[in-house]
Amino acid sequence: MQYHISTGLVIQHFEKDCNCPLCEMEKIVEANICRELLADGCMDDDVRHQVNARGFCLKHFEQLYEMPSKLGLSLQMTTRMNTIFKTFQPVNSTRKAKKQAKALESELTTCIVCDYTQKEMVKYYKTIAQLFDKEDQFKQMLASSNGFCLKHYAKLLEYSDFAFFSSAQYLKALYEVESNRLNKSVELLQAFSNRHDYRNLGKPLGEATNALPRIKNDFFGKK
Ligand SMILES: [Zn+2]
Ligand SMILES: [Zn+2]
């Protein structure tokens, strides 16, 4: 196989025995974006303009705060506050207060790191579909993977047309790997619940011990 930069990251994570290869890749993408935002992004007018307009969500603010460049984050947040102060104004009527409440709430729902991450991840969703179309070896890798969290499974479905003539085969392969995963989770949840029946008191939980963390990962991915 000839790997491009983006296909290299895909192969590397599909070869690993991991919970969701796309969650792992997304973590790398997010970390790179955060690093760039606090380094060159502080100086780049276009980036500053976008941070000004979109800001950060709680998750990414905390991720940025954990990084060494506190000055970078402070500069970005100073810029961001210019936008907030355009909305944060004295109001003299309840009608205007309700309007401002909506405007302030919507400022809390946008994030430049989420925007950049989504844009970057779309390239990987497309690459995965294209690899399935072109590489037999990759079909095997997908078939023997552990499936995906539901968010990333949905994204792979959304971009499945990039597998072109192999789309139907790709959808079937995705469904098989995902249904194995979800059926196993349901089986473990049932086993976990059954062990709490008084007739089963004292019996070991075995694999079912992880039933709830496992279903959490199925729904929300691994943080
Ligand atoms: Zn995931
Ligand atoms: Zn975010």
Average pLDDT over residues 166-176: 98
Nearest in space to 122 (alpha carbons), one of 222, 25, 17, 4: 25
Tens digit of pLDDT for each residue in 46-102?
888 899 999 999 999 999 999 988 898 998 899 899 899 999 999 999 999 999 999
Å from CA of 107 to ligand 2 middle: 12
Å from CA of 78 to ligand 1 middle: 33
Å from CA of 223 to ligand 1 middle: 9
How far apart (Å, rounded) are the C-alpha atoms in residues 153 and 216?
Answer: 15
Ligand closest in space to the Cα of 19? 1
Å from CA of 124 to ligand 2 middle: 19
Å from CA of 115 to ligand 2 middle: 7
Ligand closest in space to the Cα of 178? 1
Residues of the chain with pLDDT > 70, as a percent, come to: 97
Ligand closest in space to the Cα of 21? 1
Q: Would you kindly state where each structural domain of the chain is located, as residue ranges?
A: 5-220
Å from CA of 22 to ligand 1 middle: 5
pLDDT at 190 over 80: yes
How far apart (Å, rounded) are the C-alpha atoms in residues 54 and 184?
Answer: 40
pLDDT score, position 5: 61
pLDDT at 2 over 60: no
How far apart (Å, rounded) are the C-alpha atoms in residues 181 and 197?
Answer: 25
- Cα 152-157-161 angle, rounded to 5 deg: 135
Q: Among 11-15, 92-96, 115-119, 194-198, which stretch is predicted with the lowest mean pLDDT?
A: 194-198
Q: Provide the pLDDT confidence category of residue 199 given band limits of 50, 70 and 90.
A: confident
Predicted structure pTM score: 0.88
Q: How much is the mean pLDDT over the chain?
A: 91
How far apart (Å, rounded) are the C-alpha atoms in residues 42 and 40?
Answer: 5
